[in-house]
Amino acid sequence: MDRIVLGLTEKISINNKEFSAKIDTGARGNSLCKTIASELKLPLLKRKIWIKSSNGMQLRRLVEAEIKIKNLKFKTTFNVTDRSHLRFPVLIGVQTLQNGFLVDPSKNQTISPKAKGLYSKRQ
C-alpha cells in the first residue's frame, strides 16, 4: 500500500466540516477542542483516558468521529480538551498516522492568514 504523505499541518474534515490540524508524531492519540466537539454534537464515549501533557496528567473524555485526511475517510477517536489557546483546534497523533500516512515536514500545508487561529471555515 502506498503511504499518503502529510505535512506538519493539514486541512482535514471531521463529520464533513473542514478544520486545520497539527500533525504530531510525538503524540500518541488525537485531540480535539471541546468547542468543536460541542459544535459537531459529537457524543462523549463512556471511556476516559489519562493524557500526559505540558500541564501534567489530565483525565479526558473521548469522542468518536468520521474524519477525512486527503482522500482517506475513516472513524477514529479524539480526546477532548480546551485547545482554544492553541493555533490548531485539532491534533492528529500516531494512533491515526500509522494507518498508512507518512509525515514529511517539507510538505507542510500552507494555512492562509485568514484561516490562522480559526476553528472552522465560517460560512
Give tens-digit pLDDT for 2-13: 889 999 999 999
Residue 122 included in any domain: no
Residue 58 included in any domain: yes
Give tens-digit pLDDT for 22-42: 999 999 999 999 999 999 999
116 has a pLDDT exceeding 50: no
Residue 119 included in any domain: no
- Residue 94's φ and ψ, nearest 5 degrees, are -60, -35
110 has a pLDDT exceeding 80: no
pLDDT score at 109: 64
pLDDT score at 106: 85
pLDDT score at 3: 87
Q: Which domain holds residue 65?
A: 4-107
What is the tally of structural domains in the chain? 1
Residue 57 included in any domain: yes
Residue 114 included in any domain: no
Set of cell numbers at residue 98: 500509522
DSSP string of 79-108, one letter each residue: EEE--TTSS-SEEE-HHHHTTTEEE-GGGP
For residue 63, give the 3-state DSSP assignment: strand
- Nearest to 81, CA basis, from 29, 12, 9, 20: 29
pTM > 0.85: yes or no: no
Residue 113 included in any domain: no
Residue 21 included in any domain: yes
CATH number for the domain including 97?
A: 2.40.70.10
Task: Give the up-direction half-sphere exposure of residue 99: CA atoms within 13 A in the CB hemisphere.
Answer: 15
pLDDT score at 122: 39
- Nearest to 69, CA basis, from 123, 122, 19, 1: 19
- To the nearest 10°, the Cα dihedral for 67, 72, 75, 79? -50
101 has a pLDDT exceeding 90: yes
85 has a pLDDT exceeding 50: yes
Q: What is the mean pLDDT of the chain?
A: 86
Residue 91 included in any domain: yes
